[in-house]
Structure 1
Amino acid sequence: MESRAVKQPTRNPGPAARAANRQPPAAEGRARPAGAVTARTRLGDRGRSWLGHHREMAGEAVRRFLAAPMASGMTALVIAIALALPASLQLGLVNFQRAVAGWEGQPQISVFLHKRAREAAVTSYVEDLRADPRVAAVTYISPEQALAEFQQSSGLGDALAGLDANPLPAVLLVRPQDSAASDLEALAAGLRESALTDAVVLDMAWVERLARLTELGQRLSLGLGLLLALGVILVVVNTIRLHIESRREEILVVKLVGGTNAFVRRPFLYSGICYGLCGGLLAWLLVAVGVALLAGPVAGLADSYGSGYTLDGPGPAYLLGLAGGAALLGLAGAWLAVARHLRAIEPS
C-alpha cells in the first residue's frame, strides 16, 4: 500500500506569530553600516563664529602687547615720535594762520575818496561796504585825521601848518574777509567802479608773501608727514616680522590642521593695530605737552603787542585723527609683513 502524505491545509499566521517573526528595531539599527554624517552650517552660525574669532584675536593681541611692556612701549614711543613731528608742524601752521588773521598787518585795501564827495554820500557808501559779506571791517579816516597822522609821522608839522587848505583826501581802510589773491583783486576792482573813489591801492606784495609762506608750510608738513608715515610702516613691519618668526612652530601646526592664511594672519593684524593705536595716543600726548610748554611764552609775547592771542591745543578731533591714522598705518605695516613672510612658512 502506498502511503500518502496528508497535505495539511495552510493557515494564515496569527498576530502573535507575526510579532515573533518580526525583528526588533534595535537589531535593524545595529545592522546599518557605519559612515560619516554631513551637517550644514547656517550663515548666522558662520557669522557668529567669525566675529567671535575676531574678538578672541583682538584680546590676544592686547594681552601679548601688555605681556612685554618694555619692548611694546619702546616700539609705540618710536611710532609716537615719528607722528608727533608732522602733527606739531601742522598744528603750528594752523596757529600761524589764525595769528595772521587777527594781526593788524594783514592785507587791506586803501580807498582814497574824491575831495568833492559829500559827507552823506560817503556815510552811505561806508554802510554799504560794511554790509558786503566780502568785507570784514571798514575804517573811515577823515582828511583832518589823515593830516594829523601825516604831521606826526613825517615830522613836517610846522611846514604843513602853513598850508591854506588840507591837501589830503578822506581814506577808507577796507579789511577783506578772505586773503586769497583772486578775491582781493575782485574786491578792489569793485571798489574802483564807485563814483566816490579817486584811487584804490592794494598791497599785493604782502598778500603774495603770505600765500607763498603758507603754501611752503603746507607742503613741508605734507612731505614730512608722508616720509614719517613710511617710517611708521617700516617699524611695524619689522616688529610683526619678529612676532611671526617667534611663532613659526605655532603657525606650522595651525596650517597642518587646515588653518587658512586668513586665520593665521588675523592675530598679527590686530597686533599692528594695537601698536599703531598706542603710538597715536602717545603722539597726541607729546603734542599736547609741547603746546602746554609754549602757551605761556606765546601769551606773554602777544600781551607785549597788545593782543590776547593764545595757542590752540590738540582737541578731541585731533586725538581721533592721530589715533585713527596711526591705527591704519599699523594695520598696513602688519599686512605687508604678514603677506611677505607668511608665504615662506608652509608645512613640508
Structure 2
Amino acid sequence: MSAPAHNETRGTREKSRHPLAAWRRHHRQCLRGALARLIRRPVGAWATILVLGVVLSLPALVMTLGHQVERLGAIWMSDAARMDLYLAPGTDEAERESLRDWLDRQATVAEQRVIPPDEGLETLTERLHMNGLEGLDSNPLPWVIELTLSDARPDTRLALAEGLREQSAVAEFSSGGEWIERLEQIRAFFDELGWWLLILLGLTVVFVVGNTLRLELHERRREIALIALIGGTERYMLRPLLYDGTLTGLLGGLVASGLVALAVSVTAGPIERFAASYGAAIAPQIDPTLVLLLMTAGALLGWLSAQVIGRFYIGRLSTP
C-alpha cells in the first residue's frame, strides 16, 4: 500500500474513533466535575448526603432487624427438625416395633431413637438435679421415640403429623417447629415493611436530591443556554447532572450503611441478651448484601432524580 493511501486510511480510522473518544472524554470531565463540586461546596453537598443517609437508614434498620430474626431462626432450626413421640401407656413391644416399621417407611424421617422410661427418668433426674426419683414404685414416664427429620419444612411436618394421629400407639407428639413458623412470619413482616419504607422514603430521596440539582442547574443556566445555542444535545447537557445525582445518591447509601452499622454495634448487647434468654447465641452484624443494596438504591434514586429534574428544567432553560 502506498504512503498516501496508508495515511488516508489512518485518517479515516482516527475520524471514526473521534466521536467515541470525545464521548469518553466528556464522561471523565463530568465525573471530575462532580467530585470537584463536592470539594468546592462541602457544606451544602454533604448536608444533602447526610439527609439521604438518614432517610435510607430507616428501612435498612428494619431489614437488619429482620435479618437478626432470620439468624435466630436458623439457630433454632435444629428444633424444627426434631419430633418427640410419646407412646400410649400399656403399649407392648409388638406395637412399638410396628410403629418403628411405619416410621422407617416415611421419607421425611431420617433417624429415630427409642428412649425407654428408665432412661427418660434418669435424664430427668440429672436435668432437674433431684434425688430420690429412682426409688419410685412405678415409673410415670412413657416410652418416647425421638425423630430426626430430613425435611423440616412446615408442610412436610404437617403431613407427618397427620399420619401420626392415625397411629394408635402414639398418645401425643411434640414438634419444635412452631417457633420457627412464628419467626418466619415475623421476618417476612420486617422484610415487607422494610421494602415499603424503602419505596416511600425513596420518593423523599428523589425530591431532596432534585432540589439540590435544581439549584445547580439554576447556577449553570447561562452555560446551558450557550450549549443549546451552539447545537448541544439535551443528553450532553444532562450528563453532568446525572453524575452529580448518582454520586450524591451513592455516597448517601454509603452513609446509611455506616449509620446502620453504628446502630447494630450500639444495640448488640441487648440483642445478645435477648437471644441468650431463649437459649441462642448470636453476634448481631450488618448483612453485606444490605450495604450493596443501600449503595445501589441510593445511586439509582440519585440518577432518577437527575433524569426527572434535569429533563424538566433543561428544556425550559435551553428554550430561547
State the 1:329 CA deviation.
Answer: 1.1
Describe the SS at the equivalent of 2:85: strand
State the match for 1:341 in structure 2.
Answer: 313
Q: 1:290 aligns with which of 249, 263, 277?
A: 263
CA distance in 1 between partners of 2:54 and 2:111 (Å): 43
**Normalised by the size of structure 2, how large is the TM-score?**
0.77
Alpha-carbon contact 2:66-2:188 (below 8 Å) kept: no
Q: 1:109 aligns with which of 83, 106, 110?
A: 83
The 1:299/1:46 distance shift into structure 2, 3 A limit, reads same
Alpha-carbon contact 1:188-1:202 (below 8 Å) kept: no
Question: What root-mean-square deviation, in Å, do the aligned CA atoms of Structure 1 and Structure 2 show?
Answer: 4.0
State the match for 1:161 in structure 2.
Answer: 136
State the 1:340 CA deviation.
Answer: 1.7
**Given the alignment of the two structures, is residue 65 of structure 1 paired with residue 38 of structure 2, yes or no?**
yes
State the 1:55 CA deviation.
Answer: 1.4
Q: 2:64 aligns with which of 91, 97, 100?
A: 91
State the 1:335 CA deviation.
Answer: 0.6
In structure 2, give the amino acid aligned to 1:335: Q
State the match for 1:11 in structure 2.
Answer: none
CA distance in 1 between partners of 2:259 and 2:182 (Å): 32
CA distance in 2 between partners of 1:41 and 1:256 (Å): 28
The 1:104/1:211 distance shift into structure 2, 3 A limit, reads closer
State the match for 2:300 in structure 1.
Answer: 328
- Cα deviations by residue, 1:284-329 (Å, 9 ceiling, x for unpaired): 11111112222234335545665432112343x4332221221111
Greater share of residues in helix? 2
Aligned identity (percent) is 31
State the 1:206 CA deviation.
Answer: 4.9
CA distance in 2 between partners of 1:284 and 1:57 (Å): 26
**Given the alignment of the two structures, is residue 319 of structure 1 paired with residue 294 of structure 2, yes or no?**
no
State the match for 1:44 in structure 2.
Answer: 17
State the match for 2:116 in structure 1.
Answer: 142
State the match for 2:208 in structure 1.
Answer: 235
The 1:207/1:97 distance shift into structure 2, 3 A limit, reads closer
The 1:74/1:194 distance shift into structure 2, 3 A limit, reads same
In structure 2, give the amino acid aligned to 1:235: V
In structure 2, give the amino acid aligned to 1:260: T
Describe the SS at the equivalent of 2:267: helix
CA distance in 2 between partners of 1:136 and 1:43 (Å): 68
CA distance in 2 between partners of 1:139 and 1:126 (Å): 14
**Normalised by the size of structure 1, how large is the TM-score?**
0.71
In structure 2, give the amino acid aligned to 1:308: A
State the match for 1:225 in structure 2.
Answer: 198
Describe the SS at the equivalent of 1:344: helix
Decide which moves more: 60-69 or 297-306.
297-306
- Cα deviations by residue, 1:9-56 (Å, 9 ceiling, x for unpaired): xxxxxxxxxxxxxxxxxxxxxxxxxxxxxx998443222221221111
Describe the SS at the equivalent of 1:112: strand
Alpha-carbon contact 1:256-1:347 (below 8 Å) kept: no
Alpha-carbon contact 2:70-2:183 (below 8 Å) kept: no
CA distance in 1 between partners of 2:196 and 2:113 (Å): 41
State the 1:332 CA deviation.
Answer: 0.8
State the 1:183 CA deviation.
Answer: 3.2
Alpha-carbon contact 1:287-1:314 (below 8 Å) kept: no
**Which of 1 and 2 has greater Rg?**
1
Aligned residues: 301
State the 1:106 CA deviation.
Answer: 5.3
State the 1:82 CA deviation.
Answer: 0.9
CA distance in 2 between partners of 1:196 and 1:222 (Å): 49
The 1:135/1:244 distance shift into structure 2, 3 A limit, reads farther
Q: 2:244 aligns with which of 271, 275, 298?
A: 271
Q: 1:186 aligns with which of 137, 150, 159?
A: 159
In structure 1, give the amino acid aligned to 2:23: W
The 1:303/1:62 distance shift into structure 2, 3 A limit, reads same
State the 1:103 CA deviation.
Answer: 3.8
- Cα deviations by residue, 1:58-77 (Å, 9 ceiling, x for unpaired): 11111112211111111000
For structure 1, list consecutive stretches of 5 or more residues without a partner in the other structure. Answer: 1-38
State the match for 1:31 in structure 2.
Answer: none
In structure 2, give the amino acid aligned to 1:321: L
Describe the SS at the equivalent of 1:343: helix
